[in-house]
Amino acid sequence: MSASATLPLLILGSSLLPGLVIFFLPESKVRIRTALNLSGALLKLVFVGVMAWGVFNGTTYETRLPLIPDLEFVLHADALSLLFVTLSSVLWLVTTVYAIGYLEESPHRSRFFGFFSLCVTATVGVAMAGNLLTFLLFYELLTLVTYPLIVHRGTEVARLAGLTYLRYTIAGGALLMIGTVWLYTLCGTLEFTYGGFVREFASASTNRETLVVIFVLLTAGLGVKAALVPLHGWLPQAMVAPAPVSALLHAVAVVKAGAFGIVRVIYDVFGIEFAANLGVTLPLAILAAVTIVYASVRALFQDDLKRRLAFSTVSQISYITLGVATVGPIAAIGGIVHLVHQGLMKITLFFCAGNLAETLGIHKISEMDGVAHRMPWTMVAFTLGALGMVGVPPLAGFVSKWYLGIGAMAAGQEWIVAILVGSSVLNAAYFLPIIYTAWFKESKGTWPAEQPRGRAETRWTLLLPPLVTALLALGVGLLASAPFSPLDWAQLIAGREYGR
């Protein structure tokens, strides 16, 4: 097998193998486990770096293995998959460091880190899938390996949350599967192709209604993970999971896999022109817009910090869908780049929420009075993330919203601008009070459950990750026009799709 065919497998293996080994490690072998985790994460970054360099220089990375008669297991690296792979590998490394700190001394860490690694493996697989079957395979795998992370604490609440999660995701997976098989019987291929394969391969006798139904099946299946209203119900409940899991779930793994899938289906399965021609993009854009506004309003009324962040995710993730469903290259750039930007900002916010809970026992916004004086660095990171979400320049969120807005104007869909403005106002309405409470309110003097204070405001392993991701979120905003920035990649991807 040539080097270009092995690299995708190596990227998968660098988290799969450590994960499998970790399952069998005794609880007490902390050092070996940590070493395995970190070396796996670093190795993956190196492999991804090599691949990025190769793709930039025009190498095609593709692995093909037989899976089902006539259908292959295909891993493929194009610009879009590379964007997602890079995001997940970088954030996996950061989250692993965070999780090691967060779970210090807690039981069942071998199980936790085992599934954690499998979770990233599945995400990377989703990113690199070269056809819809392979995508489906990793998409379902992701469902299965996140379940043990959600019920990790073993409480009754966790069990019920896990059940809710499965109800939504397994039903969604079933829809996705029907759509996939149906599409296969019509087209005879499932390979992702620039500009989509459906128009070319669907037999002439296939009527448009069938294709619309298939599109609905696929987007509904993906919409569950992408938390499109009304399929979002599982996400706020999944908050019982430990903080690093929430961070990964919201920024990289589950939610992103759904949004990424929608991008793939529109661009590489149906093709944007054909999808627009079928008349399915406008309803999807409207659904995304409804999700953005509805979830923002819900977020306003949450006092629980993690729940507010969860509704914020529901809202923000739909920017991606909105971006690709607004038929136009500039809005597409905004949507695709938000895949990365939202990840960086949201993971920062969840790390910070985890720090507050772990160090001071704070779970509610009403308990946060003056917390910035006790934990200044955590709150600096939080503030950067939150302002980014609101869309304050020059942070990452501003860049996404700017392109989305300009793109909507260019595509002649001015109503989307109104949605963006309204959403930003709502974002400000639910994030600014938190920042105000934390920085400017008088502290009540005691915290719900304060841990003994060390030299820093909390453990280093907990403090560094949010600072790093906050800086990244600032960096990708400031350096948006630099080469190799996420924006640069997004322009490349959108350029290919719109043929220029």
Cα 450 from chain centre: 31
CB within 8 Å of 35: residues ≥ 6 apart: none
Residue 68 Cβ vs another protein, minimum distance, rounded to whole Å? 6
Which one, 260 or 489, has the nearer CB to another protein? 260
Q: What region, left, alpha or beta, does residue 188 occupy, with left being phi > 0 and alpha being psi -120 to 50 degrees?
A: left
CA distances from 274 to 54, 74, 260 (A): 31, 24, 19
CA distance 99 to 245: 8
Residue 185 Cβ vs another protein, minimum distance, rounded to whole Å? 5
Which one, 134 or 315, has the nearer CB to another protein? 134
Which one, 11 or 387, has the nearer CB to another protein? 11
Which one, 177 or 392, has the nearer CB to another protein? 177
Residue 295 Cβ vs another protein, minimum distance, rounded to whole Å? 27
Q: Is 196 helix (H, G, I), strand (E, B) or coil?
A: coil
CA distance 212 to 278: 7
> Sign (positive/negative) of CA torsion 157, 163, 168, 169?
positive
Structural tokens at position 380: 């600096």
The answer to whether 399 and 341 have CB atoms below 8 angstroms apart is yes
Which one, 57 or 185, has the nearer CB to another protein? 185
Structural tokens at position 416: 């989307």
Which one, 136 or 419, has the nearer CB to another protein? 136
Closest CA to 316 of 396, 394, 234: 396
The answer to whether 326 and 411 have CB atoms below 8 angstroms apart is yes
CA distance 37 to 350: 21
Residues that bind another protein (CB under 8 A): 23, 66-70, 73, 107-108, 111, 136-137, 140-141, 143-144, 147-148, 151, 154-156, 158-159, 162-163, 166, 170-171, 173-174, 177-178, 181-182, 184-185
> Rounded to the nearest 10 degrees, how much is the dihedral formed by the CA atoms of 473, 477, 479, 481?
140
* Amino acid residing at 461: T
Residue 351 Cβ vs another protein, minimum distance, rounded to whole Å? 25
Which one, 137 or 479, has the nearer CB to another protein? 137
Which one, 112 or 311, has the nearer CB to another protein? 112
Which one, 133 or 386, has the nearer CB to another protein? 133
Structural tokens at position 147: 């379940």
Which one, 74 or 390, has the nearer CB to another protein? 74
Closest CA to 172 of 217, 135, 235: 217
Phi then psi for 78, rounded to 5 degrees?
-120, -175
Which one, 144 or 432, has the nearer CB to another protein? 144
CA distance 32 to 37: 9
Q: Is 302 helix (H, G, I), strand (E, B) or coil?
A: coil
* Amino acid residing at 497: E
Q: What is the DSSP string of 405-451?
A: HHHHHHTT-HHHHHHHHHHHHHHHHHHHHHHHHHHHSPP-S--TTPP
